[in-house]
Structure 1
């Protein structure tokens, strides 16, 4: 069995998707449709930067999605395959869950782009810049990370945001609490704590205003049943019912991204091959979670052609 997986924030880079767009009219169509949906020349920002503008949450989220969907669409249309025939499950890391839903036909491309633009704006607006932070706890599993977050909180918000793999967990909360967590990380058995270059504390209770905004937006958005089950971040399990998907996407804003558990659950369901589209972030995580699994990253036209031969 096979899962198609989609990366989250941090995988953006100036120049992303440009070689693919130059080689494929299908990829160009995807980028143009996203530009039109947003009323913004996002494709030029992806191509030319500047990097600090591309990295803004409201730009990075739709850009990462557009790049990954372009890769999938080229595979499907130029390779003559259907996702539902080649993938048993889809999943994505944080915003990548929206990409997964788009790839699986649950949300159309224009709606996905607009939802992610709003999601980025709402997440940035939820907490004033400087008041919230995130840190990666390297060499820490979930239990150690929870202990560090609990010890560092001291009445502030400090919680696990991303359980990425057995060696990396990300925490999120007020800047003061995150600074304390970094200071005590080694004492609790982590190799070190590393503050992340993000502009807001994602996936923690401080994001409640953004969750409220997404609840309103998702209530108005058309969501269909996906062609294959989507493994949702907050339950680390499959979801196919549109109302359930809406609810889980709202919970995801403040909830923990249970990526490690999601990969384990897909593996336990029989998945032996994981194909990451539009990035090279999740593949290494998969290998740390399920060492025997096949993990492939598909970014370029050469990658797509190689995958077509393997499918």
Structure 2
């Protein structure tokens, strides 16, 4: 069976994430300790106990989600002897999840990935003053419809498509006034629902250029190896293995559209029959069900789920 591994992005975090893994497996505890040490922060305590408001902060949520995903990978490989590179053909991650995928596939070390994501979160938060940017979900919209909406709503301000999540869900991002106009325009285009999202910054749009610049500088000095499996880039929606290309694409990803729907369609075209979400939550499995009914979606985040799946491969 041709299999892909998926790594969740922001929005999949929840207080208590990783706690059961840490209780059950030494490999998971080692991951959380290494991330804590790399960041000089008790991130694991924040993950296990909250408060939720602090965990949701972009600079915490990004490395925390990565840590849980990598913990699942290490548990599978070290505790159950499952070689993911031998059991899969591709890996893909939603936004920050692309870093989790790269770390899981040996392209970037765990401590470097934690530091890069901490910087990414901080830079994205600092890029735009609070309250000047916004994001909104257009439900029941396809990408072409959403592109028409943002073009009509921009009026010289920044607003664009941030996430093409598939299944009729497109997220837009930009200056608050332009996003609010886009919500009104969407109502005239037959789009089922348009709603502001409770986010702290307008991700994946041109307003994030200062964060892209910060990541370009950081990635220039980062060590990136060829991954054990091709990583499906959010920017190109196809598998990438060249470290130089991967670095450039991670920079472009900060301001660019997350082409998740196209990425899943590309995987289908490569013959992928099963997609296994590794980490916190089941968001990506849910999206996949709406994008393609033929690829089997699985989510592994809890000890029992991991153990059960490990016995089948």
TM-score normalised by length of structure 1 = 0.99
Residue of 293, 300, 303 corresponding to 2:302: 300
Matched, 1:309 2:311: yes
Secondary structure at the aligned position of 2:264 is classed as helix
Distance 1:166 1:20 in 2: 31
1:55 corresponds to = 56
Aligned to 1:285: 287
Equivalent position SS for 1:136 = strand
SS in structure 2 of the partner of residue 188 of structure 1: coil
Q: What is the distance in 1 between the residues matched to 2:15 and 2:152? A: 39
d(CA) in 1 for partners of 2:48, 2:228: 31
How many residues in Structure 1 have an aligned counterpart in Structure 2? 311
TM-score between the two structures when normalised by the length of structure 2: 0.98
| Structure 2, unaligned runs of 5 or more | none
Q: Deviations over 1:154-210 (max 9, x none)?
A: 111010000001310000000001111112212112111111111000000010000
User: Which residue in 1 is equivalent to 2:41?
Assistant: 40
Moved more, 239-248 or 143-152: 143-152
**Match of residue 216 from structure 1:** 217
Q: Is the 8 A contact 1:144 1:189 kept in 2?
A: no
Question: Matched residues in 2 for 1:15 and 1:34: separation?
Answer: 17
Equivalent in the alignment of 2:182? 181
Distance in 1 of aligned mates of 2:208 and 2:190:
28
Q: Which residue does the alignment assign to 1:152?
A: 153
SS at match of 1:151: helix
Mapped to 2, the partners of 1:154 and 1:41 lie a distance apart of 45
- Rounded Cα–Cα distance in structure 2 between residues aligned with 1:101 and 1:117: 16
Structure 1 stretch displaced more, 143-152 or 259-268: 143-152
Q: Report the 3-state secondary structure (helix = DSSP H, G, I; strand = E; otherwise coil) of the residue aligned with 1:266.
A: helix
Q: Write the deviation string for residues 115-172 of structure 1: whole angstroms up to 9, x where unpaired.
A: 0000000000000000000001000010111111111111110100000013100000
User: For 1:1-311, what aligned pairs fall within 5 Å after superposition?
Assistant: 1-278=2-279, 279-311=281-313
Whether the aligned pair in 2 keeps the contact of 1:231 and 1:238 (CA below 8 Å) is yes
Structure 1 residue runs of 5 or longer lacking an equivalent are none
Contact 1:6 1:68 in 2 (8 A): yes
* Alignment RMSD (CA, Å): 0.7
Secondary structure in structure 2 of the residue aligned to 1:137: strand
